[in-house]
Structure 1
Amino acid sequence: MNDLIKKNQAYENKVAFRNIAIVLMCACALAVSFIVSMKTGHAKLSALDTLRTLFGGGTERENVILFDFRLPRITLSILVGAGLALSGCTVQGVTKNAMADPGLLGITAGAGLMVILFTMFVGTESFLSIFTLPFLALLGAGLTAILITVLAYKKTDGIAPMRLILTGIAMQAGISALTIVLVIKLSEEQYDFVAAWRAGDIWGSNWQFVIALLPWLLILIPYLMYNSRKLDVLSMSDDTAYSLGVSVVKQHRKLLFVSVALAASCVSVSGSISFVGLIAPHLARRLVGSRHSILIPVCALVGAVLVSVADTLSRVILPPAGIPTGIIVAIIGAPYFLYLLATANER
């Protein structure tokens, strides 16, 4: 018995060491992406210029390029990547659906519709609008999530994973059609903003948007970490969760709200970026398994790296205008989603 306990302890220590190593590797990848992104763009800055500017020795032009343009955008891409990845991780764990993603389920489309309505009637130039947009996006995303859940639910078998996906795709198509109708009535300036938002361009490239998004993540991510064990239980069958003393319906509602809030707050400042919540959790699970206590931080790091790299590429391809970050992510994510659909019956 003692030998068995020692073997189990040794195995757990080995897994823990491996997980720590993976976290450090992901953090290093994010740091490298951050450094490369700082010196990448239409206006060239060498590595030496970037380092000198960071420590206060840059010229006025270099300070403007780095601190006013690049760093806010890089910071936003990292925060948005982490938030969208954790939103997808949460909704996958709660629904037990490996293909669930806030973008595919139409949640981000609902948030976007509310952002467009706000743009039509108020605009996005005022300081107040920057902090109002996440709440309005949450309202739109929440109503969409409730409607999708109601339409996908059946008394006989609850919410089937494939029915949830198909309902979300249909909802997304309907909201997109309504968005097109609304776009016709926009002014030229409003249309340019909406077009950039729908393409997933990280349009909030200043520190005010970072300040507007950061509190959401600082509150919601620790809450997810605190409930990581409940997410582990909810990933099992409902009967098992009930037997372990978890209030399934209550926890479903709380965690789905967190997932919707993360997605809504992120897309309100980044535009419609899909597939991050699909790709990042899958890659993280392949690295560290399905225990959410380690899956959540790794998933956040993977999502941050993914969007950060995509944003860097978006500024390199076709300069000076570049390509919206959402398009780069979609080029990566769409084939992966098709792969998941093709292999769904094999799992």
Structure 2
Amino acid sequence: MMVPAVRKQRIVVASLLALIIATIVISMGLGAASLSFDRLIPTLFGQGTFKEEFVLFSLRLPRIFVTLLSGMALALSGTILQSITRNDLADPGIIGINSGAGIAISVFFLYFPIEPGSFVYMLPLVAFLGALLTAGLIYAFSYNKNEGLNPIRLVLVGVGFSLALSGAMIVIIQSAEPVKVDFIAKWLAGNIWGTDWPFIWAIIPWLVVLIPYTLYRASALNLLALNEGSAIGSGVAVGRERGIMLVVAVALAAAAVSITGGIAFIGLMAPHIAKAVVGARHQLHIPVAILMGGWLLLFADTIGRNILDPSGLPAGIMVSFIGAPYFLYLLLKK
């Protein structure tokens, strides 16, 4: 029975890779600056004009890779959160983790001296610290020593924290310079702003370390997704494992939103789609969820930046058009 499941996973992974490649090609050719599709391959191999190479290598490709990698990180973060909380509605954007990262970035951006050379690489770390503090508080308020972690309370507390931190963000913005306010407003809307190559090098180390680690811990996640008694009976140190994987989920979400802005719902939708296609075992659905998350955000950004002139719609808003109804559907279903 396992062989068909593995074979199905490979077919789905191959299909998603083909879909991602097709979307990348389409995204490279679409945009305000003209770059015809028949000029893509010559330009990729250094045979384009100065304008064509500038558009492709300085504008399009960095944005494409940043979006793809961030979607992957958000999807994996949501997968982990849904498993360790046993809550199908858990998502770093919905339960307040992204807001914690956002307020840390805002304070850092507004009130600390910024060194141009290290700014890009400091952002994920700053976001991680803010998100980790927020996640710790949400976890503490959702935990009951008699019944353990309450999945329903987790969502309610997380939504409450998200609203409170958004209010705090508005208070902070009111005292800031107009130029810096514009940056924070774009971040809140989920506008992909980290569109240079250094932002790619800033997020890649987090993914290179945390994706293999999560796959390595897939068996533990399978047990954590069971009820508390079953997990403990299987010999899992529930508190320790849950704490470690919570830190991993927070790190992934923080690394992503530090360069893409406050984007929700990717971490909600991608794991659900993956489980529906290949099953609930983490060894099978984690790779599918990662690729699905990358494609969803890339697709949303490609549509969003071409749908309206001149600047398009932020990717976060495009994702919300799909994700908000999906969230309500799950809420009613559960």
Q: Which TM-score applies when normalising by structure 2?
A: 0.98
- Within a 5 Å distance, the mapping from 1:308-347 to structure 2 comes to 308-344=298-334
In 2 relative to 1, CA 123–193 (structure 1 residues): closer, same or farther, beyond 3 Å?
Answer: farther
2:88 counterpart SS class? coil
The answer on whether the counterparts of 2:263 and 2:316 sit within 8 Å (CA) in structure 1 is yes
Q: Which residue matches 1:251? A: 241
2:176 counterpart SS class? coil
Q: What displacement does 1:125 show?
A: 6.9
Q: Which residue matches 1:77? A: 67
State the distance in 1 between where 2:210 and 2:192 align: 22
From 37, 53, 62, the equivalent of 2:43 is: 53
2:140 is aligned with 1:150: yes
State the distance in 1 between where 2:38 and 2:115 align: 36
The answer on whether the counterparts of 2:74 and 2:267 sit within 8 Å (CA) in structure 1 is yes
State the distance in 2 between where 1:181 and 1:119 align: 15
The answer on whether the counterparts of 1:124 and 1:130 sit within 8 Å (CA) in structure 2 is no
The CA deviation string for residues 128-186 of structure 1, in whole angstroms up to 9 with x for no partner, is 11111111101100010011111112233222111110100010000000000000111
The answer on whether the counterparts of 1:40 and 1:315 sit within 8 Å (CA) in structure 2 is no
2:125 counterpart SS class? helix
In 2 relative to 1, CA 32–123 (structure 1 residues): closer, same or farther, beyond 3 Å?
Answer: farther
The answer on whether the counterparts of 1:200 and 1:326 sit within 8 Å (CA) in structure 2 is yes
| Matched residue type, 1:89 | T
The CA deviation string for residues 218-266 of structure 1, in whole angstroms up to 9 with x for no partner, is 0011100111111111111222222222211110011000000000111
Q: What displacement does 1:77 show?
A: 0.4
| Matched residue type, 1:38 | M
The answer on whether the counterparts of 1:200 and 1:324 sit within 8 Å (CA) in structure 2 is yes
Farther-moved stretch of structure 1 (241-250 vs 164-173): 241-250
The answer on whether the counterparts of 2:6 and 2:284 sit within 8 Å (CA) in structure 1 is no
State the distance in 2 between where 1:158 and 1:71 align: 46
State the distance in 1 between where 2:5 and 2:138 align: 39
The answer on whether the counterparts of 2:58 and 2:196 sit within 8 Å (CA) in structure 1 is yes
State the distance in 1 between where 2:80 and 2:264 align: 15
2:235 is aligned with 1:209: no
Q: Which residue matches 1:296? A: 286
From 228, 233, 238, the equivalent of 2:223 is: 233
The CA deviation string for residues 96-146 of structure 1, in whole angstroms up to 9 with x for no partner, is 100000111100000000000011113667121111111110110001001
From 244, 247, 255, the equivalent of 1:265 is: 255
Farther-moved stretch of structure 1 (148-157 vs 174-183): 148-157
Instruction: State the number of aligned residues.
Output: 334
Q: What displacement does 1:13 show?
A: 2.2
- The alignment's C-alpha RMSD in Å is 1.1
Q: Which residue matches 2:264? A: 274
State the distance in 2 between where 1:76 and 1:290 align: 28
2:13 is aligned with 1:23: yes
Unaligned 5+ runs, structure 2: none
In 2 relative to 1, CA 86–70 (structure 1 residues): closer, same or farther, beyond 3 Å?
Answer: same
Q: What displacement does 1:55 show?
A: 1.3
Q: Which residue matches 1:200? A: 190
From 78, 88, 99, the equivalent of 2:78 is: 88
| Matched residue type, 1:230 | A
Q: Which TM-score applies when normalising by structure 1?
A: 0.94
The answer on whether the counterparts of 2:92 and 2:267 sit within 8 Å (CA) in structure 1 is yes
In 2 relative to 1, CA 125–200 (structure 1 residues): closer, same or farther, beyond 3 Å?
Answer: farther
The answer on whether the counterparts of 2:96 and 2:159 sit within 8 Å (CA) in structure 1 is yes
In 2 relative to 1, CA 124–271 (structure 1 residues): closer, same or farther, beyond 3 Å?
Answer: farther
Identity level (%):
42
2:286 is aligned with 1:286: no
The CA deviation string for residues 70-118 of structure 1, in whole angstroms up to 9 with x for no partner, is 1000000000000000000001011110000011110000000000001
1:335 counterpart SS class? helix
| Matched residue type, 2:293 | G
Unaligned 5+ runs, structure 1: 1-10
2:48 counterpart SS class? coil
2:100 is aligned with 1:100: no
